[in-house]
Structure 1
Amino acid sequence: MYRKKYLFKSERLGYRNWTENDLAEFAKINSDKEVMEHFPKPLTKKETFEFIERLKTHYKTNGYNYFATEILETGELIGFIGLAHQDYISDFTPATDIGWRLKKSAWGNGYATEGAKKCLEYAFTELKLNHIISFFTEKNIKSEKVMLKIGMTKAGVFNHPKLKDYPDYEKCICYKITKRDWLLINK
């Protein structure tokens, strides 16, 4: 098994903060058109660098972020699964959301669901948060399936203010889960 210091682990995955060593691999993930299908565009290497810097700052400010996620057995970076504070204007914010972005070779292995479940546990037990949201563009059915698998329920539909310049992506569906509901599911 590959050994590295993680903030926490699930059965097959390790979750950590980002480093400069992640740029090349994460840039490949973010430049993949299929991975970025439900986003306005793939990201350049420079945009990926800026994203990593924002994630590191977010961690310093909030104690969590969209964590760099690796396969424990190999140490392979497969993308991110984690949490981010959202303060754009909507009926569902401010709130902490849970999200994921994985490379294609990691798809179909249950990693997003495994990781999201572990991040919910971390959010409710370690961070002491009271509820978590998640959202997706209306065509991203795969993300919706993960949200349902982790016990989230539909909270509503909204036009994402950060996507107003991208009409094909602006309409989003929000899901949520409270700590109480999570505890009931995970007795």
Structure 2
Amino acid sequence: MIKTPRLGLRNWQPSDLEPFAEMNSDEAVMEYFPKTLSKEESLDLYNRLKEHFEKHGYTYFAAETISDKKFIGFIGLAYQTYEAHFTPCVDIGWRLRREAWGKGYATEGAKACLDFGFNKIKLEEIYSVTPLPNLKSVNVMKKIGMKKVGEFGHPNIEEGHPLKVCNLFRISKQ
């Protein structure tokens, strides 16, 4: 659906499920999420991502390398409705398998998703959220032109959890 020089971003397919579940159970990958996911939780998320695509025409897309069609994670857009001062909104997010880290894939795919969001589905602004300690994601947000607009306590993370307070970034259509 979306192509970059090195990546294909597309709707989910059954062959993604096993590497997706492996990624979601990797403690290093999930360091800035409240917990790792079981296979059942990954299947539920997979189904929700597919349903999101059917409803909205976009999702956190499955990401694969064009050269060898290898699943490396997800990069994409999602409509968020959790209770916060900036929702409902569309946010951009990514999660990559460990072997895909440090290669610029998140930045490359996220730039393509911003273009898709602003020029194909005609969004006026896109948000991104990450816990305060997640400096790698903050760096990607800055590289793609997003600006920090505040911090907030994420309503889906319990009080007192070290990941409760999140950075809020935003970019507007140019």
Q: TM-score range by the shorter chain?
A: over 0.9
Q: What letter corresponds to residue 157 of structure 2 in structure 1?
A: L
* 1:53 and 2:47 are equivalent in the alignment: yes
Superimposed CA distance per residue, residues 118-140 of structure 1 (whole angstroms, 9 cap, x where no aligned partner): 00000001011110000100100
Counterpart of 2:149 in structure 1 is 155
CA distance in 1, matches of 2:83, 2:33: 19
Contact 1:71-1:77 within 8 A present in 2 as well: yes
Which moves more between the two structures, 15-24 or 115-124?
A: 15-24
* 1:68 and 2:68 are equivalent in the alignment: no
Report the Cα offset of residue 164 of structure 1: 2.4
What's the secondary structure of 2:69's corresponding residue?
coil
Q: In the alignment, which of 76, 89, 98 is matched to residue 92 of structure 2?
A: 98
What's the secondary structure of 1:28's corresponding residue?
helix
Report the Cα offset of residue 91 of structure 1: 1.6
Counterpart of 2:80 in structure 1 is 86
Q: What letter corresponds to residue 111 of structure 2 in structure 1?
A: K
Superimposed CA distance per residue, residues 137-185 of structure 1 (whole angstroms, 9 cap, x where no aligned partner): 01000000000000000111100101125621110010000012xxxxx
Aligned-residue identity in percent:
49
Q: What letter corresponds to residue 19 of structure 1 in structure 2?
A: Q
Counterpart of 1:122 in structure 2 is 116
Contact 1:40-1:166 within 8 A present in 2 as well: no
Q: In the alignment, which of 156, 179, 186 is matched to residue 173 of structure 2?
A: 179
Report the Cα offset of residue 113 of structure 1: 0.3
Report the Cα offset of residue 19 of structure 1: 1.5
* Structure 2: segments with no counterpart, 5+ residues: none
* 1:21 and 2:26 are equivalent in the alignment: no
* Structure 1: segments with no counterpart, 5+ residues: 1-6, 181-187
What's the secondary structure of 1:169's corresponding residue?
coil
TM-score (norm: length of structure 2):
0.98
* 1:8 and 2:2 are equivalent in the alignment: yes
What's the secondary structure of 1:79's corresponding residue?
strand
Q: What letter corresponds to residue 35 of structure 2 in structure 1?
A: K
Give the ranges of 4+ consecutive aligned residues of structure 1 lying more than 4 Å apart after TM superposition. none
